[in-house]
Amino acid sequence: MVVAIPTINWLAEMNSKMQLPSSMSGVEQWMKESEAAAAKITEVFLNVSTISGLFTNILIVALIAAVGEELFFRGVLQKLLFQWSKNIHVAIIFTAILFGAFHLQFYGFIPRVLMGVLFGYLLYWSGSIWLPILAHFTNNALAIIVDFFTRKKQIDFDVDKIGIDENAILWSSISFVLIGTLIYLFYRIEKNKPSMAKLL
């Protein structure tokens, strides 16, 4: 999740430039309003200045959200879609799309869908729901911690700009290669162990 930061930022930047046809202006307006509402809620949660506030956010926004969302999306929905479709790849991708839409933040839809795909394959390859929960928790917790110390001016660079600044191509390329390498290594390690498909 750490090495994925530049790629996630780059994808989010590309996603944020999305424009719908004029015939769908009503839908686009609704998407922008949903995005603004979600941003306000996020700001309320993240606007803390104490360590106790930081740990409360890690508990609520990182841990509880990661456990709840992964148990529902990967633990229940992905399993049901796999049983229905008999195709694990269809189940993982469709679950990831629903996961991205669930957040009602459409200008971050693409990176969320791809993270959902990653979480789905982590479950499939490992056979353990705890791995996608850990990855999801790490992603959320990192964002919370970085935001906290940025607000306190103890971090003097914008992590959200890594992958979209003047060195965007370099950072994004390195990030993409590292993600691919780590996923491949994980797949090689786990491929001979019981998978989700074998456990169902």
Q: Which tokens go with 155?
A: 């971090």
Please identify which residue in the block is written with the tokens 């957040």. Answer: 103
- 78 neighbors 95 (Cβ within 8 angstroms): yes
Q: What is the Cα–Cα distance from 100 to 192, expressed in whole angstroms?
A: 30
Please tell me whether residue 117 adopts helix, strand or coil conformation.
helix
Output the pLDDT for position 18. Answer: 75
Q: Which tokens go with 59?
A: 């508990």
What is the Cα 181 distance to its own chain's centre? 19
Output the pLDDT for position 157. Answer: 67
* C-alpha pair distances (Å), 129 with each of 50, 71, 152: 32, 7, 35
Output the pLDDT for position 189. Answer: 85
Query: Mean pLDDT per segment of 10 residues, for the chain of length 200 residues?
Result: 88 79 73 73 79 92 94 95 94 95 80 94 92 94 89 75 78 91 90 57
| Residue 102: half-sphere exposure toward Cβ, Cα within 13 Å | 17
Q: What is the Cα–Cα distance from 47 to 115, expressed in whole angstroms?
A: 25
